[in-house]
Amino acid sequence: MPNGKKRDHPLTDILYRKLSTFSEEIDELVTEIVELGGRKELEQTFNLFAPPPLPEFEQSLKEIRDRLRKEAKQRGWEI
């Protein structure tokens, strides 16, 4: 349960505390996905406290990011 301290939740650590959590690439993908409105999807799709193996996790995140980018552009977002 999050307690407001460092390392209490992966998303908080990545987005607000700017702490390295998974890997530089994965942390950047997580940030992009949240900026594209995908935070809820991240939380529903993955257990961020015990994610899949990092190469698989990174690939899945890239697919989500790419899909969200495409959808955002179709809605007229400037990306």
Query: What is the number of structural domains in the chain?
Result: 1
Give me the pLDDT at residue 7, please.
78
Q: What is the pTM of this model?
A: 0.88
2 in a structural domain: no
Q: Which residue has the higher pLDDT, 38 or 4?
A: 38
Task: Give ∠ CA 64-22-61 in degrees, rounded to 5.
Answer: 5
d(CA 61, CA 48): 12
- Whether residue 1 lies inside any domain: the answer is no
Instruction: Band the pLDDT of 2: cuts 50, 70, 90.
Output: low
Render pLDDT for 13-63 as a digit per residue (tens, 0 to 9).
999 999 999 999 999 999 999 999 999 999 999 999 999 999 999 999 999
The whole-number pLDDT of residue 8 equals 81
Q: Is residue 18 part of a domain?
A: yes
Q: Which pLDDT does position 3 carry in this prediction?
A: 59
Residue 46: inside a domain:
yes
Residue 55: inside a domain, yes or no? yes
Range of the domain at 51: 10-74
